[in-house]
């Protein structure tokens, strides 16, 4: 597993800094040089530990965090092994990984996250013909006091983690794409709803 994140190298006396990374508490009063980090996730005894494998600084000519995130993901994808996946916090949008050619990524998304089927459903013979792909909702959510149910998964898999004996249940949807995913990107998004028992 490789983890990605952005952090700021804060400089209280920094002048004429073109970057846009600020402290979450004091805002623009404390500017910073944003740095992207890629690291291998492991552990030392019982302590989880990430060993940095790349540090990426913002582009001087285009110092936005979006550009830095895209470059960071590209570098991480190049470093990925065949048995590895990438993970990042919810600040990274899934479409960035798809554009970079990443096929295995674990991302935390909002509870109201939705995706959509790649194709329009077949006509059932009654009523109006479908014109839009089906919306896929991994979790139920409420809209205007009405509960919108979760979409039934295409497949459910359950296994036991041999390290700690925890039972993991994964709900899978196949052949789905992001709502904002450009049509030219044909990568398939796999979204998991995980539950733990044991």
- How far is residue 14's CA from residue 34's CA, in Å, rounded to a whole number? 13
Q: Please name the residue ranges forming H helices in 84-184.
A: 94-99
How far, CA to CA in Å, does 191 sit from each of 102, 109, 129, 175, 183?
Answer: 14, 10, 27, 10, 19
Identify the weakest region by mean pLDDT among 3-17, 82-96, 184-198. 184-198
Higher pLDDT, 27 or 114: 114
Q: Which residue has the tokens 């994964």?
A: 170
> By three-state DSSP, how is residue 107 classified?
strand
130-187 pLDDT, tens digit per residue, is 788 888 998 888 888 899 999 999 999 999 988 888 998 988 998 888 876 665 444 4
Domain ranges, ordered by start, for the chain: 1-108, 109-198
Confidence category of residue 188, pLDDT binned at 50, 70, 90 = very low
pLDDT confidence of residue 61 = 81
Q: Which two tokens stand for residue 169?
A: 């249940």
- How far is residue 40's CA from residue 58's CA, in Å, rounded to a whole number? 21
Q: Is 153 left (phi over 0), alpha (psi -120 to 50) or beta?
A: beta
Q: Which residue has the tokens 């005894």?
A: 45
> By three-state DSSP, how is residue 162 classified?
coil
- How far is residue 34's CA from residue 91's CA, in Å, rounded to a whole number? 14
Task: Pick the closest to residue 68 from 19, 112, 11, 134 (CA basis).
Answer: 19
pLDDT confidence of residue 34 = 79
pLDDT confidence of residue 198 = 38
Phi, psi of 82 (to 5 degrees): -65, -25
C-beta separation of 173 from 156 below 8 A: no
5-53 pLDDT, tens digit per residue, is 888 776 656 666 665 555 555 555 556 677 899 999 888 888 888 888 9
């Amino acid at each position: 597993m490789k983890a990605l994140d952005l952090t700021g190298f804060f400089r209280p006396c920094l002048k004429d800094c073109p970057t846009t990374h600020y402290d979450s508490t004091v805002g623009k009063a404390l500017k910073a040089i944003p740095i992207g980090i890629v690291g291998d996730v492991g552990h030392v005894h019982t302590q989880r530990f990430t060993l940095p494998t790349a540090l990426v600084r913002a582009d001087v000519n285009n110092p936005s965090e979006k550009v830095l995130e895209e470059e960071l993901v590209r570098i991480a994808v190049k470093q990925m092994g065949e048995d590895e996946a990438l993970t990042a916090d919810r600040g990274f949008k899934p479409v960035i990984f798809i554009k970079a050619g990443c096929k295995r990524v674990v991302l935390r998304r909002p509870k109201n996250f939705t995706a959509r089927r790649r194709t329009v459903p077949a006509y059932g013979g009654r009523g109006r013909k479908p014109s839009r792909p089906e919306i896929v909702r991994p979790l139920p959510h409420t809209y205007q006091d009405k509960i919108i149910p979760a979409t039934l998964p295409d497949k459910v898999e359950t296994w036991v983690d041999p390290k700690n004996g925890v039972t993991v249940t994964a709900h899978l949807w196949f052949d789905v794409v992001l709502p904002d995913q450009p049509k030219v990107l044909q990568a398939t998004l796999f979204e998991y709803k995980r539950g733990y028992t044991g």
